[in-house]
Structure 1
Amino acid sequence: MPASPTYQIDLSLAPATIEALVDGGYSFYTMFAVQMKNAAARPTIGFSTQNITANMPIVWKADVSAYTSFTPISSGSVVRIGYEVPINIGQTFVVTSGGIGQVKACGPVSKIAIANTTAGAFTSGFARALCGEEAAIPIYAVPLYGNQTNIAAPLPKVLLQFTTASLQPGTLIEKLAMEFQAGASYSPSLLVEAAANQTRALSYDINAGWNWGAYSWAEIIPVNADLAKVLIVQE
């Protein structure tokens, strides 16, 4: 089997920006996109850190795990993985009693299936860890009802943002905006389409914002955007 593609974004920050972000108590968040046609699906915080430095590489593999959870899908709640198993495109995670199960080789072309063989409902989705991080974190969540099959695909798109909002990895998000944590400060988000085994270079300035050379592989996402619509990509 060929090696899984690696994606990398090299984020650079000037000293004045680092000072402003650290003094303001900002955190850096990443969120990943998936392709799925289900209006109940929600993205989650995939990674967070307050370690703001001059060079911040964001590196991940295309690999994901399929998971089940008993966490209800509610904006602001943190999804806790109950069971997790590595899975590849074209495979199916067959869920059995208690949310555990096994991966079968048969599955949808270019996508991943999670098939519930029980009459109980779970929260489910994909999880991944950035390179250098130990624990896999949910990157989206969707209801998995009894005897239902969900089909989705991870996408090589990641959303980047600086904010003073206090959010744990795995937090379910709709709008990361003023109504979500009213007392917080937010930068505009940057949605980056990564390329396999290539590096996207970009920078952030506390006043000028994001700079990626205006290439077509990135776009600014406004603070008040509906991130469920941005990151849960319809077919």
Structure 2
Amino acid sequence: MALYLFERTGGTLNTANVKNIITQAGKNRQQPAIYNPALYTYEEKSTKKVQASGPGDMATSPLEHAATQLGFKNTSVLFVAEGADDDNDADMPAARSIGSITPSIGNLLGATQYGVSIKMDQATVEALSNGDYSLYGFKAVQSSAGGGRPLVWFKSTEFGLDTGVSWEVQYEAYTSRSAIIPNGQIKGLSSYPIDLGQMLEVETPQGTGVVVDGTAGMISIENRTATQVTCGISEVVDGTPQPLCAFPLYGNGLDAIVPIQKVMFTFSTRPVNTGTVIEQAYSQSILIDLTAKTNREVSFDINKGWAWGGYSWAQAIRPSTNVVPLLIESNAF
């Protein structure tokens, strides 16, 4: 017997909602036999918290993504190990089931949420706002595949004296027919929720397919057609999966990608959208490594640039620097 604790902040949640979430997760992953609400018994712990007891076969990331799809934003799912049958145990935070992770790759995702706090003074905030600046974010990956490029992961014009950026360990694998060209945008995604240790099998020239078991510690995408497509992974930021990299996937080929906890931030007036291919830094940027700690604090000054105390977990990136090797790390798995 396993326990799943569904909890929502900023809204209510009941048994019927949770049943719909489980059903939707099964549709997304084409695994209705596993994500079957009839296999579970439910107890409403409060107006925001529901406990589901049953088989421990469901992964939490697809459940949380399904909750967002259905409009139940800010819903988290905690998995309590089998055998925990006490009510107090059910309310205790537990490790999320996110698949196997290979320690040698340096991607130890023990936590479920990561964040960076950006401190700025009033003069900097006013200068950025008056100058029509946007905050751009980029996320790093490791892969042995060639030709990969980072994408604009998120874009925001909402910032202030203390700007927080957070993201969750929830992934999707996607394909697209868009070409990978500098400053081009990757559009028309066929996207599927996926965990580390799973593989997207592309079955049609249009890029559609199914998610199956793959290689531990990585997200794999196999092209079972003779048509080249573009592929990559997305990660949830602000509740929405956004593509963060793009790789060419040739006919009958296989790309393996490992998301790592490195992010790059930059303020720029450049008018680009999420999903845009980037090769050079738009302006002075900062590359932050959150492998050892899930939250970091940095500061930005409109004249002095980025500051973080000079610690080894971050580095400044000069304008026009080639960021491809910084955000697409080569690794022979």
Q: TM-score, normalising length from structure 2?
A: 0.64
Give the letter aligned to residue 234 of structure 1: S
Percent identity reads 33
Looking at structure 2, the residues matched to 103 and 197 of structure 1 have their Cα atoms a distance apart, in angstroms, of 31
Give 3-state SS (helix, strand or coil) of 2:166's partner: strand
Alignment partner of 1:99 is 2:207: yes
Query: Is the partner of 2:237 in helix, strand or coil?
Result: coil
Unpaired segments of 5 or more residues in structure 1? 178-185
Q: What is the aligned partner in structure 2 of residue 10 from structure 1?
A: 117
Corresponding letter in the other structure for 1:119: A
Equivalent AA in structure 1 for residue 250 of structure 2 = Y
Number of corresponding residues: 223
Q: Write out per-residue CA displacement over residues 131-169 of structure 1, whole angstroms, 9 at most, x where no aligned residue.
A: 3x43x2210001111110101101100000011111101
> Which one has a bigger Cα radius of gyration?
2
Contact 1:8–1:197 (Cα < 8 Å) also in 2: no
Matched letter for residue 85 of structure 1: Y
Correspondences of 1:1-235 after superposition (within 5 Å)? 2-3=95-96, 5-97=112-204, 98-105=206-213, 107-131=214-238, 133-134=239-240, 136-177=241-282, 186=283, 188-195=284-291, 198-235=294-331
Alpha-carbon contact 1:43-1:172 (below 8 Å) kept: yes
- Which 4+ runs in 1 deviate beyond 6 A? none
Letter paired with 1:192: I
Question: 1:65 & 1:141 partners in 2: Cα distance?
Answer: 13
Which residue identity does 2:182 align to in structure 1?
A: S
Pick closer, same or farther for the CA change 1:38–1:195 going to 2, 3 Å: closer
Q: Describe the superposition over 1:69-91 as per-residue Cα deviations: whole angstroms up to 9, x where unpaired.
A: 11111111111142111111111
Distance in 2, Cα, partners of 1:38 & 1:225: 22
Are 1:68 and 1:82, in contact at CA under 8 Å, matched by a contact in 2?
yes
Q: How far has the Cα of 1:52 moved from its partner?
A: 2.5
Once the two structures are TM-superposed, the CA of residue 195 in structure 1 deviates from its matched residue by 4.1
Q: Which has the higher contact order (CA 8 A, sep 6+)?
A: 1
C-alpha distance in 1 between matches for 2:114 and 2:177: 31
Query: How high is the TM-score relative to the length of structure 1?
Result: 0.90
CA RMSD of aligned residues (A): 1.5
Which whole-Å CA distance do the structure 1 matches of 2:302 and 2:295 have between them? Answer: 23
Greater helix share, 1 or 2? Answer: 2
Report the Cα offset of residue 197 of structure 1. 7.0
